[in-house]
Amino acid sequence: MTKLAKTVSLGLAGLWAGMAQAADDVTLQLKWVTQAQFAGYYVAQDQGFYEEEDLNVTIKPGGPDIAPTSVLAGGGADVVLDWMPSALASREKGLPLVNIAQPFKSSGMMLTCRKDAGITSPEDFPGKTLGVWFFGNEYPFLSWMSHLGLSTDGGDDGVTVLKQGFNVDPLLQNQAACVSTMTYNEYWQVIDAGLTPEELVVFKYEDQGVATLEDGIYVLEDKLEDPEFVDKMVRFVRASMKGWKWAEENPDEAAMIVLDNDNTGAQTEEHQKRMMAEVAKLTAGSNGALDPADFERTVDSLLAGGSDPVITQHPGEAAWTHMITDKALN
């Protein structure tokens, strides 16, 4: 072999080796800011689980002005996290979202109320002002009120809905009898602000029979027709679930990994460790595969909205798939 030929041969060999080693890019859009709610993904990145799957994953934090579905529709992410009520409502409006995995088995959503506002049970809701998150987070609440037969237009026979910011100020300032909280986040903000558990009553959506699925992994339906994309998602889900199980077993370490990724400096060690301990209760029992019974329960709850249901028709099995998890978990 001539010197030139040998040089070309070595150059091509190096090029092919470099191409073989190039990791596949995946962009994940979170539903909210960097916090332990998303620990599994940060753990998978930190512990090298994505790297083991030959993936280069970019995790994009969310925020009050970021709608994951809009980011996905605009091509700003390959995969997003969303609550199923929001995802199914978006699907009915024309955005073909598909749930490919469901790391969260249980719901963390609840209504936290002041006892001194006269709230001891849902029977006390009529005539009261209740704080509600919007931007797609209102759907479980509206479904619950429909189950209770309560109007959300105000009056003594219904409830007045206060459009709640992503804080608990309305409860602290007596602007609302109850506010929306998560077991792992805003409830503890109320406690940290000085109210005691004895001064509060909480209504978990799980206990009220209106729990809907949260923090599922969604992609656009047409993407699942691409074998290369499917292969990337199989590896992504496998590594992500490995991250979630690691986080469940090592909650304090997982919380510290989250803190390392919080570029805002807004999170604290105490709050993230407490949050991770609560989040671990919600992911426990899930291997990542969506339970069809949980899907049907969510759909039934959303359809039972009287004259104003969250969705107007059953989305069918096209709204979710086991294609990814069957391959990722076997």
Q: Of 148, 170, 204, which residue sits at a domain end?
A: 204
- pLDDT the model gives residue 21: 63
Q: Which two tokens stand for residue 173?
A: 């300032």
CA angle 104, 106, 109 (to 5 degrees): 105
How many Cα atoms are found within 13 Å in the side-chain-facing hemisphere of 186? 24
**Same domain flag for 61 and 133:** no
14 contacts: CB under 8 Å, gap ≥ 6: none
Count of structural domains, the chain: 2
Cβ distance 241 to 153 under 8 Å? Answer: no
Does 123 share its domain with 169?
Answer: yes
CB-based contacts of 162: which residues, under 8 Å, 6+ apart? 129, 130, 131, 132, 170, 175, 176
Query: Does residue 4 lie in a domain region?
Result: no
Q: What gap in Å lies between CA 112 and CA 164, rounded to an integer?
A: 13
Residues 261 and 127 in one domain: no
In Å, what is the CA distance from 87 to each residue of 9, 77, 213? 51, 15, 10
Between CA 264 and CA 154 the distance in angstroms is 38
> How much is the pTM?
0.88
Residue 157, pLDDT score = 86
The span from the CA of 326 to the CA of 155, in Å, is 50
Domain extent for 283? 24-105+213-329
Residue showing tokens 């069918």: 316
What is the per-residue pLDDT for 11? 52
* The last residue of a domain, from among 175, 204, 233: 204
Half-sphere CA count of 318, side-chain side, radius 13 A: 11
Q: How far apart are CA 161 and CA 296, in angstroms?
A: 27
**Residues 183/203, Cβ–Cβ less than 8 Å:** no
Q: Using CA atoms, how far apart are residues 36 and 43, in angstroms rounded to an integer?
A: 10
Residue 225 within a domain: yes
Buried b (16+ CB within 10 A) or exposed e, 189-213: bbbeeebeeeebbebbbbeeebbbb
User: Following DSSP, what letter does each residue of 57-105 receive, concatenated?
Assistant: EEEEP-BTTB-HHHHHHTTS-SEEEE-HHHHHHHHHTT--EEEEE----
**Looking at the structure, do residues 33 and 163 belong to the same domain, yes or no?**
no
Output the pLDDT for position 256.
Answer: 98
Distance of CA 143 to the CA centre of its chain: 18
Same domain, 286 and 235: yes
Q: Are residues 200 and 127 in the same domain?
A: yes
Q: Which residue has the tokens 């009529």?
A: 126
Strand order in the sheet with 55-60: 55-60, 24-29, 79-82, 216-220, 97-101
Q: What CATH number did the domain enclosing 196 receive? A: 3.40.190.10
HSE (CB half, 13 Å, CA atoms) of 278? 20
Residue where one domain finishes, among candidates 170, 204, 238 = 204
Whether 141 and 70 map to the same domain: the answer is no
- Block means of pLDDT (10 residues each) for the chain, 330 residues, are 48 49 93 97 98 98 92 97 94 97 96 97 96 84 89 89 93 97 95 96 92 96 98 98 98 98 93 97 96 94 75 94 96
